[in-house]
Amino acid sequence: MVKDIKDADLENLDLKDPKIYEVGYLLVPFLPADQVAGEVTKIIKSVVLAQKGEITSEIDPVSIRLAYTVTKNLANKNNKFNDAYFGAIRFKLTPNSISAIKASLDKDLNVLRYLIIFLPKGSENMVAPKRAYVRREERIPVDMMAIERIDKSEPKKEEKVEMSKEDLDKEIENLLVEPKK
């Protein structure tokens, strides 16, 4: 039954009607900052325009620290990357032309990873993330000696105040009294 639904959906899919896509990408970090925009134009934008697509919005590539190490084979050698340029582009393109974008991203050695997703109608514009991207070198250095001094210091002891039975009873009565209306 599920197979019939998928087949029916594929038959009703109009491959000539442009759809909205977004491609998120990671580029190698050793590209000079002034050449990153040119690489994005060469790898993605020119292919979209050659396929008669329309670029609707984009997030300019910025250098970020990766959550985990990414390995890419370059010149028959596995290279490990901890930083990369991250960017995203939204565009309108026919579904049968999306393979040209994939082929362009697959063959380019400057692309570490990419993800192409289909978006619903009305989502042509994207909002830049609110997170501030901070390079590793720009982070505030941590004074390890200060951390060791803090960890070795004795914890403060709280002073205990002893109350008499009468004071304790008064405190309880004050808590139980209902506020006046």
Q: What is the pLDDT of residue 75?
A: 84
If one counts the domains in the chain, the total is 1
Task: Output 128 or 150, whichever has higher pLDDT.
Answer: 128
What would you report as the CA-atom Rg of the chain, rounded to the nearest whole angstrom?
29
Backbone angles phi, psi at 162, to 5 degrees: -85, 140
Tell me the DSSP string of 22-35: EEEEEE-TTS-HHH
> What span, in angstroms and rounded, lies between the C-alpha atoms of 55 and 124?
9
Indicate whether 5 belongs to any domain.
no
| Band (140; pLDDT cuts 50, 70, 90) | low
**pLDDT tens digits for 1-31?**
334 434 444 455 566 788 999 999 999 999 9
Rounded-to-10 torsion of CA 93, 97, 100, 103: 100
Indicate whether 109 belongs to any domain.
yes
Mean pLDDT for the chain overall? 80
Indicate whether 152 belongs to any domain.
no
Indicate whether 172 belongs to any domain.
no
Domain that holds residue 26: 15-138
Local structure of 114: helix, strand or coil: strand
Name residue 76's beta-bridge partners.
none
Q: What is the pLDDT of residue 87?
A: 93
Q: What is the pLDDT of residue 176?
A: 81
Q: How far is CA 92 from the centre of its chain?
A: 22
Indicate whether 58 belongs to any domain.
yes
**pLDDT tens digits for 119-133?**
988 887 777 666 655
CATH number at residue 128: 3.30.70.60
* 151 pLDDT more than 60: no
Per the confidence metrics, is the pTM higher than 0.95?
Answer: no
Indicate whether 105 belongs to any domain.
yes
Indicate whether 171 belongs to any domain.
no
Q: What is the pLDDT of residue 8?
A: 46
* 116 pLDDT more than 90: yes
Indicate whether 153 belongs to any domain.
no
